[in-house]
């Protein structure tokens, strides 16, 4: 249990929106390097960079055209090396995204692959003949809408794309593709990165029989905004062949000291825990990044079921939990009905940082940042254009980091690529820096206290409490911590045995005569005896 990544807190940076150093309105590597002091001051262990590789930016860098170079928008390889060195000097590990399930259609290998059916890269992507009537080979659909198959006139075949048509999927059934992917990872490991966040890690392999997916069981028969949500993706992703390849990835990282991988597991609630279990067992991924807490559910039952369910199914596996990221509505906005913005932000911080596993914080989360209301003419995100207005895309959570109250939030001297608006400007670093009771200082205090406690790696024991109360104890060999949370705006009380005083951070919490009183969105962490119980 001494690996650095176990119980680590990772800070996600979306490079386009963190800090612009040259006035073009787009964040860059030099800007991130300038702001590393802020990240280090939080007390996190590592920084994760979303993609900075060469790309035509059809999907904001998740469409890679050169896996071993930096896009000029963000800088150069020398800038990247300087960032890694500066982060290491501050005690921060550096994790980078790897988007290897698919490339850009501008990648030289795809340009070669689509040329004809007999070249050296002809089988590097998933090519399939049309059905006799010219239709696609099966019913698979794209995450971004429409069929997952695109017709190519040069090869007279369809190619698979789980996302945009300009993001063709690699054919991982080809061993040459696997070997090449390993060489890409080796390139970055040799440059000193400490690990990888593997985008769409369960999308690598497809069913070679090309069987149709069935419908996703749903309680509500109303059509979803995105038809992708109506399909059970049994054959288009999460295939059993993936497990052997993950073992190959792990073997590569094990050749280097203190490196780690976390895989993004994108699947529905019926399958996600099982996939996380499989992917972090038997020498595969170090961690699995869960989507399960990135939705609207805000109940004790839900949070308990995810944490407890994972460790019951995979006692030797390891999860990474997050409440926000670059793909979902920010959690302070998602859960706004459960309390004031500041109270929800602080309660969410205390909950997330107490869960067993590793933790990922998304830039601006430490400010209690809210979702930006994007208008149609401000859109940049492809799904936003396709599904507007019922789904406005992901731009609202990707707007620039707000460093001060100036009109661009201190992000750029130019015009920001996405707008910085008033409600977000109000939640800036400068206005919260050093201010007692601010969301920012709350995060710093919690992260500092957490490091020397059982919350880093202790096991969880949940208490059977009525909603809206969530409670558990974390125990390691030297320490026990009780955690209690009121997930509502109404005061609650709970009996606690074995707790004589509050010894730890708390908000709207009092202990008297064996009863803990929790005010609206109240919570507590407290060192306690190993026999402490609640309920």
Cα angle, residue 351 at apex, residues 348 and 354 outer, rounded to 5°: 145
Measured CA to CA, the distance from residue 370 to residue 364 in angstroms comes to 9
Please state, in angstroms and rounded to a whole number, the distance separating the CA atoms of residues 112 and 383: 28
Structure tokens at 131: 């059905």
Structure tokens at 463: 């208490």
Residues facing residue 496 across a β-bridge: 534
How far is CA 11 from each of CA 39, 245, 320, rounded to the nearest angstrom?
7, 27, 12
Q: Within 100-174, where are the H helices?
A: 108-113
Helix (H) or strand (E) holding 516, with range, is: strand 515-527
Helix pair 242-253, 175-190: axis angle to 10 deg = 30
Is residue 255 annotated as a catalytic residue, yes or no? yes
**DSSP code per residue over 179-208:** HHHHHHHHHHHHTT--EEEETTGGGS---T
Known catalytic membership, residue 199:
yes
Structure tokens at 468: 């809206």
Q: What angle do CA 517, 523, 524 make, to 5 degrees?
A: 90
CA quadruple 409, 411, 415, 420: dihedral sign:
negative
Pairing of strands 319-322, 358-362: parallel
CA–CA distance, 96 with 344 (Å, rounded to integer): 30
* DSSP strands (E only) in 398-475: 459-462, 469-475
Catalytic residue among 45, 97, 150, 199: 199
CB 20 within 8 A of CB 28: yes
DSSP H or E segment with residue 288: strand 287-290
Backbone angles phi, psi at 516, to 5 degrees: -100, 125
Give the residue from 494, 486, 458 showing the smallest Cα distance to 473: 458
338-343-347 Cα angle (round to 5): 85
Catalytic residue among 133, 190, 220, 255: 255
String of b and e for 15-52 (b: at least 16 CB within 10 Å)? bbbbbbbeeebbbbbbbbbbbbebbbebbbbbbbbbbb
Measured between alpha carbons, how far is 47 from 11 in angstroms, rounded to an integer? 5
Indicate the SS3 state at residue 360. Answer: strand
- Beta strand 459-462 with 46-49: parallel, antiparallel or unpaired? unpaired
Catalytic site residues? 199, 255
């Amino acid at each position: 249990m001494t690996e650095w990544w176990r119980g680590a807190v990772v800070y996600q940076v979306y490079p386009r929106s963190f800090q612009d150093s040259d006035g073009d309105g787009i964040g860059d590597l030099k800007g991130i390097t300038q702001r590393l002091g802020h990240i280090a001051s939080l007390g996190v262990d590592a920084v994760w960079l979303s993609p900075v590789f060469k790309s035509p930016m059809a999907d904001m860098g998740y469409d890679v055209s050169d896996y071993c170079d930096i896009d000029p928008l963000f800088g150069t390889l020398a800038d990247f090396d300087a960032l890694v060195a500066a982060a290491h000097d501050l005690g921060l590990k550096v994790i980078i995204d790897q988007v290897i399930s698919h490339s850009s259609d501008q990648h030289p290998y795809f340009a070669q692959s689509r040329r004809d059916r007999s070249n050296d890269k002809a089988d590097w992507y998933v090519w399939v003949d049309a059905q006799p009537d010219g239709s696609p080979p099966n019913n698979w659909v794209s995450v971004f809408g429409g069929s997952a198959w695109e017709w190519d006139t040069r090869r007279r075949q369809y190619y698979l794309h789980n996302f945009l048509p300009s993001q063709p999927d690699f054919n991982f059934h080809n061993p040459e593709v696997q070997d090449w992917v390993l060489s890409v990872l080796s390139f970055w490991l040799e440059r000193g990165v400490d690990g990888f966040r593997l985008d769409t890690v369960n999308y690598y392999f497809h069913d070679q029989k090309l069987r149709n997916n069935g419908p996703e069981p749903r309680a509500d028969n109303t059509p979803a905004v995105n038809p992708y949500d109506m399909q059970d993706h049994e054959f288009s992703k999460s295939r059993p062949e993936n497990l052997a390849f993950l073992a190959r990835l792990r073997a590569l990282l094990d050749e280097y000291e203190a490196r780690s991988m976390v895989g993004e597991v994108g699947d529905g609630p019926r399958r996600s825990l099982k996939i996380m279990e499989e992917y972090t067992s038997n020498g595969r991924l170090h961690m699995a990044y869960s989507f399960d807490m990135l939705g609207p559910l805000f109940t004790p039952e839900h949070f308990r079921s995810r944490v407890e369910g994972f460790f019951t199914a995979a006692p030797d596996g390891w999860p990474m939990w997050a409440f926000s990221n670059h793909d979902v509505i920010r959690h302070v906005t998602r859960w706004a009905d459960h309390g004031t913005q500041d109270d929800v932000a602080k309660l969410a911080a205390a909950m997330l940082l107490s869960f067993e596993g590793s933790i990922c914080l998304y830039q601006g989360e430490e400010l209690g940042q809210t979702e930006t209301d994007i208008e149609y003419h401000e859109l940049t995100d492809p799904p936003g254009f396709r599904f507007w207005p019922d789904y406005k895309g992901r731009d609202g959570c990707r707007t620039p980091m707000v460093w001060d109250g100036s009109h661009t939030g201190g992000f750029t001297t130019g015009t920001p690529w996405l707008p910085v608006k008033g409600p977000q400007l109000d939640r800036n670093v400068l206005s919260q820096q050093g201010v007692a009771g601010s969301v920012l200082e709350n995060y710093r205090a919690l992260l500092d206290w957490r490091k020397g406690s059982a919350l880093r790696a202790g096991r969880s024991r949940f208490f059977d409490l009525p909603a809206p109360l969530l409670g558990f104890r974390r125990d390691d060999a030297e320490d026990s911590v009780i955690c209690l949370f009121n997930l509502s705006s109404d005061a609650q009380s709970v009996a606690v045995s074995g707790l004589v005083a509050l010894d730890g951070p708390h908000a709207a919490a009092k202990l008297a005569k064996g009863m803990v009183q929790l005010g609206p969105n109240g919570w507590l962490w407290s060192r306690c005896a190993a026999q402490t119980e609640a309920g």
